[in-house]
C-alpha cells in the first residue's frame, strides 16, 4: 500500500497516519455524472477505503463530453454500476459499492447513515434538499457543489459550524432557479472537473481532520476569466466576501 500512495504519504498533512484515515473512511457520492465522475475517480485513486456511488440514471450520448468514464458503447447502461466497476479496476485495494437507484425519502437515511462523508454531485433541487435535510438529521458532513456554463461553487455543510443549505440558499429559490441546471444553460466540461476536484479535496481534508476546509464558507469560481472568490456564510447576516 505504501508504494502505491508514496507520493501523497510524503505530503506532511497526510503521512502514514493520514493514509490510514483515508483507508478507514467511507464516502458516499450522490450522482455519477459530470461532478460525480471526477469526485469518485480522485477519492478512489487516493485510497478512500469504502466509496459508495448512487445514481439511478443510465448513460446517454449527451453525457459523454463531461462524464469521461463512459463510452459510446455503454449507452443505456447504469452509470453507478459502470463507474464502480471501472474504479475497482483502477484501485483493487478499496471497496466500491454501487446503488443503482435514486435517493428518495424512503432510502435516504438508511443509505447516508452508512457513510462518514457525503458529496452532493446531483443537479436536481428536490434531491439536493433531501440530501441536506438527511445529512443534517444524521450529523453527516456534506460537500455541496453546483455548476453551470463556466461557473461553479462549492461549500461544506453540517460540519463544525453547523451551516445548512438553507443558510446559503432558500429552498424556494433552489426549486425555482433553473439557471443552476446545466441541461438548461449548458456546461463546459472542465467546469465540472474543477468543481469536482475541489469537492474531492474538501472530502480528503475532512477525513484528515484538517482545519482549513470550506466550513462556513462558499468558494465561487468563473473558469472563463479564472476568477475565484470565497465568501463567509453567516446564519444571521447572510453571505459576505472574505
Give tens-digit pLDDT for 105-122: 999 999 999 999 999 999
Is the pLDDT at 14 greater than 80, yes or no?
yes
Q: How far is CA 117 from CA 23, 84, 105, 196, in A?
A: 13, 18, 19, 15
Query: Do 192 and 147 contact (CB within 8 A), yes or no?
Result: yes
Is the pLDDT at 162 greater than 80, yes or no?
yes
Give tens-digit pLDDT for 24-68: 999 999 999 999 999 999 999 999 999 999 999 999 999 999 999
Residue identified by cell 485513486 is 45
Tell me how crowded residue 58 is: count the other CB atoms within 10 A of its CB.
17
Is the pLDDT at 223 greater than 80, yes or no?
yes
Half-sphere exposure of 9 (CA within 13 A, CB side): 12
Q: Give me the residues paired with residue 240 across strands.
A: 232
Query: Do 27 and 119 contact (CB within 8 A), yes or no?
Result: yes
Rounded Cα gap, residues 241 and 48, in angstroms: 33
Is the pLDDT at 221 greater than 60, yes or no?
yes
In order of their start, the domains of the chain are 6-241 (3.40.50.720)
Confidence (pLDDT) at 175:
67
Q: Could you give the angle at which helices 189-207 and 15-24 cross, rounded to 10 degrees? A: 110
Is the pLDDT at 128 greater than 70, yes or no?
yes
Among 53-67, 179-193, 224-238, the range scoring the smallest mean pLDDT is: 179-193
Is the pLDDT at 236 greater than 70, yes or no?
no
Confidence (pLDDT) at 237:
55
Confidence (pLDDT) at 242:
44
* pLDDT mean over 231-242: 67
Confidence (pLDDT) at 206:
98
In order, the DSSP letters of 83-117 are HHHHHHHH-TTSEEEEE-S---TTTHHHHHTT-SE
Is the pLDDT at 99 greater than 60, yes or no?
yes
Check residues 15 and 172 and name the one with the higher pLDDT.
15
Is the pLDDT at 137 greater than 70, yes or no?
yes
Confidence (pLDDT) at 185:
72
**Confidence category of residue 168, pLDDT binned at 50, 70, 90:** confident
Is the pLDDT at 241 greater than 70, yes or no?
no
**Confidence category of residue 178, pLDDT binned at 50, 70, 90:** low
The rounded percent of the chain whose pLDDT value lies above 70 is: 92
Amino acid at each position: 500500500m505504501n508504494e502505491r500512495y508514496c507520493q501523497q504519504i510524503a505530503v506532511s498533512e497526510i503521512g502514514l497516519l493520514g493514509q490510514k484515515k483515508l483507508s478507514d473512511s467511507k464516502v458516499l457520492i450522490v450522482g455519477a455524472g459530470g461532478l460525480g465522475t471526477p469526485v469518485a475517480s480522485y477519492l478512489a485513486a487516493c485510497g478512500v477505503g469504502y466509496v459508495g456511488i448512487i445514481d439511478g440514471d443510465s448513460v446517454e450520448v449527451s453525457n459523454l463530453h463531461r462524464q469521461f468514464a463512459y463510452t459510446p458503447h455503454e449507452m443505456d447502461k447504469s452509470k453507478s454500476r459502470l463507474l464502480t466497476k471501472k474504479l475497482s479496476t483502477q484501485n483493487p485495494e478499496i471497496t466500491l459499492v454501487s446503488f443503482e437507484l435514486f435517493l428518495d425519502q424512503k432510502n435516504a437515511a438508511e443509505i447516508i447513515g452508512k457513510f462518514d462523508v457525503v458529496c452532493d454531485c446531483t443537479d436536481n433541487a428536490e434531491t439536493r434538499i433531501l440530501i441536506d435535510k438527511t445529512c443534517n438529521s444524521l450529523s453527516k458532513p456534506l460537500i455541496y457543489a453546483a455548476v453551470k456554463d463556466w461557473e461553479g461553487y462549492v461549500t461544506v455543510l453540517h460540519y463544525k459550524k453547523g451551516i445548512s443549505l438553507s443558510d446559503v440558499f432558500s429552498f424556494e429559490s433552489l426549486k425555482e432557479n433553473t439557471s443552476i441546471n446545466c441541461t438548461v444553460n449548458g456546461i463546459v466540461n472542465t467546469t465540472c472537473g474543477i468543481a469536482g476536484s475541489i469537492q474531492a479535496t474538501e472530502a480528503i481534508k475532512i477525513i484528515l481532520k484538517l482545519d482549513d476546509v470550506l466550513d462556513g464558507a462558499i468558494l465561487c469560481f468563473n473558469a472563463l476569466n479564472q476568477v475565484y472568490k470565497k465568501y463567509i456564510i453567516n446564519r444571521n447576516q447572510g453571505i459576505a466576501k472574505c
